[in-house]
Structure 1
Amino acid sequence: MKRFIATVLSFFCTAAVFGQNGYIKISGKILDHDTKKPLAYVSISVSKSSIGTVSNEEGAFNFYIPSSLKEDTLVISHIGYETLKRKVTNSQNIGIFYLKESTITLKEIVVSASGAKSLIEKSFRAIPNVYTTDPYLMEGFHRSWERVNFADSISYPGTLIEAAVTIYDPGYGKKENRKFSEQIYINEIRRSALMDGWNYNKNALRQLLNENLVRHNQSQIIDIKSFLNFPNSLIYEFEGVTEIDGENITIIKIETTNDKNFSATFRVYLSDKDLAILRIDLYGETKGIDYAQHIWQLDTVSAKFIFKRHLNKPFLSYAQTKYFIKKIDLVKKSIIQTEEYFRELLINNIVLKDVDYALKKLGPRSGSRSMALKAGTYNQSFWQNYNLIKENPADQEVILFFEKKAN
């Protein structure tokens, strides 16, 4: 069987001291060698810490590390590519990552639906042993936005929220209820202007965390129970093998079944080492408008949950959901309104020591209502004193859209 391994031909890493705060700026861009297309969601981390980031949809990454780590090693890894390690320096090396496809022979796997489902079942049972059951903190960056468009070409930007957050997780394998769910703390936040009449009763980051089917047992955006809950009516099959960080990975495709003219497919990446789920991808779409259904209909949905090992345990590294819904005039059989939603979370650092002490130093918890209600005015100066991450991953077109509307 084939495995895709990357050969890095060139590298771009710019390191500069960040202001007077003792930080080094690390930035670069990663492209596929053959297609010359950007590689999105490539993991970039620092070997002696849990600090890291991922590349955006343009293949670029941009983050800050303490200057005390200037002699440490950058670790760049991506599913299907060879892991690269480079020393952090204060110099500038201008270039680009070109990741090249390669092949090696992997062990044979039994390509049957029952075998694929059995492997997922074993992965589910392994969760308490594979993922940490001890409390920990995740420090990172959250972005969410909405856009609304009406049939008469009137457009509203909704609200753009960008926040530095700390998330307390009591550990995997705990009973599924509010007590053992993640707790969100806001360090700093900015937003665009509030849209009149918008529903601000839900916390977008809380919604995003709930879509992690390894951590929670039900997906809200496509209304199915987790593929880790058995028995279920999902369709399982082996799709292939690949590699990440030197680990052999088995890919399992899981298709949902429903009677609403909506198809959705998960791809789950399982480590052969300990059956850890290191990535979940989802894509779903409506096959056509059903005027016999409800006035609101889900059009497309996509999700990504990427896990990164720290001290040999997988932790959430990046999460994203996008979904597009339509409001239908069932009588005139026309689309009268569309709404687009985006949520993402990039974990920059994992805290495992003195968690209780660190928790006491945090401010008040974020409630279930929208973070937009807790923010001040939208302003660019927010990032000048925030060294963990800077507009990454970022859709600049969306950012400019909201800033123009806010002004």
Structure 2
Amino acid sequence: MKFLCTTIFFLCVQVALAQNQQTNNISGVVTDKEDSSPVQFAYLYLKNYPDFSALADERGEFKFFFPSQFMDEIVVISSIGYQKLELPVSSLSKTGNIIGLQRQLLSLNEVTVMPEDHSMEEMISHAIDNIPKNYPDKRHQLKGFYRKVSTNYEEFTKLVEAAVVVEDVSYLKEGSALRVKLESLRQSDELGEVDSTMTILKQRIREQIKSTGSALGPSNEIIGTYQHNGFRGDAYNSKTWFGKDGDRFMGIPELPTYRRFMGEEIIGNDTIYQIAISTKDPPNGSSYLKINSRNHAIVEYQIGYLSGEYQTFAKFREVDGVYYPEMISIKELRLINRDVGTHQMDISTFWFDMPMTEDLKKIRAKDALGRDEEVEFNDYELDSSFWKAYDLIKKHPLDSAIIRSLEKNKSLEQQFKRNAKD
């Protein structure tokens, strides 16, 4: 019964997905320029907005969905063993594109030795075992910039931005131990069609899960995005991706897991291996780990669910031998009305500054966000001067295509004021 309600809910979503296929797309095939053979599992993404991406299948065929505002963008096509190719989206037709990749010529010192499958399994096992050693076990704070953009793949329909301070403790403790202080929040108008029926449905599902004794994740999407970091507090929970038993990555006889070496990169004096993982053979790369061979630290990972409708990404930076989150991103279906389909998406992203570990002024409980507080339904004071001086937003400016889409009726500054407390 533990996950029954959630399972039923996702089954309903999958049925709806089958009935609501996207129509705004470009498609084609990626091939080898020399012999026209298909390039399996080539990766396509928008150069300046990589949250929008696609993977070719084993026949090199792909379908790529993105908002129409990005028709002036550049699409990047990459695959191991081939030169990366950049093309204007406007140069591609809606269907029938044939994209040829040039083979990468390797010099002797660039030859990569691919690990055997048992070596990859051993590397992942060591990485999971070393989570308690490689990630924080003491109180620390992170200044973070949170942004959520919503899209229906024709246009962007909502923007939420927040400046926060995250106070966390040991990665071995559950997520309920962390606190998040909101420094400022602003949000645009809602351009999507919101149906209260979905709000009621989600609340009833949460109540049913709670009645079974199962743990509920936070309703607060800011806390939820941070806590979604896959091994944050889950290093010894065998039911998670990063659990000590490793069933999700290692597989079991009834449900084997397949691994594929995707390449390596040299960063400083460290060699970083990228390993794709899937219950399908061969893995297509939508789920992968990047592991530092020096200390078996997981420096980056991505986990995809369903057919890519759900995706978790996290990247870490090393500070004094300990790894702290640098970026966390969650891509998921936007369930705001009964028109459920992969065209409605939420993309929530955190960017973090360098961690603070000494002389911390602890976040008091009364100043912390509530875990059950849905911040989008609350009014907050708008501090325009704060946002003009905020360093993190200067490092991660909003894409002009999103601005154009959201400002078709009113400027964002006007919307921020309208949705703020008087």
Give the TM-score of the pair, scaled to structure 2.
0.55
1:143 paired with 2:152, answer no
Asked whether the equivalents of residues 192 and 378 of structure 1 are also in contact (C-alpha less than 8 Å), the reply is no
Unaligned runs of 5+ in 1: 1-36, 42-57, 60-100, 219-223, 287-298
Asked whether the equivalents of residues 383 and 390 of structure 1 are also in contact (C-alpha less than 8 Å), the reply is no
Work out which of the residue numbers 301, 304, 315 in structure 2 matches 1:306.
315
> Which structure has more strand as a fraction of its residues?
1
Matches within 5 A, 1:258-273: 265-273=286-294
Asked whether the equivalents of residues 275 and 289 of structure 2 are also in contact (C-alpha less than 8 Å), the reply is yes
| Amino acid across the alignment from 1:190 | R
Matches within 5 A, 1:244-323: 244-256=267-279, 265-283=286-304, 286=307, 300-323=309-332
Could you give the per-residue CA deviations for residues 20-50 of structure 1, whole angstroms, max 9, x where no partner exists?
xxxxxxxxxxxxxxxxx95889xxxxxxxxx
What displacement does 1:336 show?
7.5
Paired with 2:394 and 2:242, the residues of 1 have a C-alpha distance of 35
| Amino acid across the alignment from 2:167 | Y
> Which structure has more helix as a fraction of its residues?
2
1:131 paired with 2:135, answer yes
The 1:227/1:325 distance shift into structure 2, 3 A limit, reads: same
1:161 paired with 2:157, answer no
Paired with 1:327 and 1:383, the residues of 2 have a C-alpha distance of 28
Identity of aligned residues (%): 16
Alignment match, 2:13: none
The 1:368/1:238 distance shift into structure 2, 3 A limit, reads: same
Alignment match, 2:84: none
The 1:323/1:104 distance shift into structure 2, 3 A limit, reads: farther
Matches within 5 A, 1:7-406: 105=109, 111-148=115-152, 157=157, 159-172=158-171, 174-175=172-173, 177-180=174-177, 182-194=178-190, 197=195, 199=199, 202-217=219-234, 225-228=240-243, 229-232=245-248, 233=251, 234-256=257-279, 265-283=286-304, 286=307, 300-324=309-333, 338-355=343-360, 357-360=361-364, 363-376=367-380, 382-390=386-394, 392=396, 394-404=398-408
**SS of aligned partner of 1:318:** strand
What displacement does 1:247 show?
1.5
Paired with 1:186 and 1:236, the residues of 2 have a C-alpha distance of 40
- How many residues end up aligned between the 2 structures? 281
Paired with 2:409 and 2:116, the residues of 1 have a C-alpha distance of 52
Alignment match, 2:83: none
Unaligned runs of 5+ in 2: 1-45, 51-72, 75-104, 204-218, 252-256, 416-422
Say what the alpha-carbon RMSD is for the aligned residues: 4.2
Asked whether the equivalents of residues 250 and 272 of structure 1 are also in contact (C-alpha less than 8 Å), the reply is yes
Give the TM-score of the pair, scaled to structure 1.
0.57
Paired with 1:374 and 1:104, the residues of 2 have a C-alpha distance of 60
| Amino acid across the alignment from 2:220 | N
Paired with 2:224 and 2:404, the residues of 1 have a C-alpha distance of 25
| Amino acid across the alignment from 1:239 | M
Paired with 1:249 and 1:336, the residues of 2 have a C-alpha distance of 36
Asked whether the equivalents of residues 146 and 341 of structure 1 are also in contact (C-alpha less than 8 Å), the reply is yes
Asked whether the equivalents of residues 191 and 377 of structure 1 are also in contact (C-alpha less than 8 Å), the reply is no
| Amino acid across the alignment from 1:306 | K
Could you give the per-residue CA deviations for residues 179-225 of structure 1, whole angstroms, max 9, x where no partner exists?
43x3221111111135754649732222322332232549xxxxx83
The 1:136/1:326 distance shift into structure 2, 3 A limit, reads: closer
Paired with 1:354 and 1:282, the residues of 2 have a C-alpha distance of 35
**SS of aligned partner of 2:353:** strand
Paired with 2:403 and 2:381, the residues of 1 have a C-alpha distance of 15
Asked whether the equivalents of residues 145 and 341 of structure 1 are also in contact (C-alpha less than 8 Å), the reply is yes
Paired with 2:181 and 2:117, the residues of 1 have a C-alpha distance of 42
Asked whether the equivalents of residues 162 and 189 of structure 1 are also in contact (C-alpha less than 8 Å), the reply is yes
What displacement does 1:118 show?
1.8
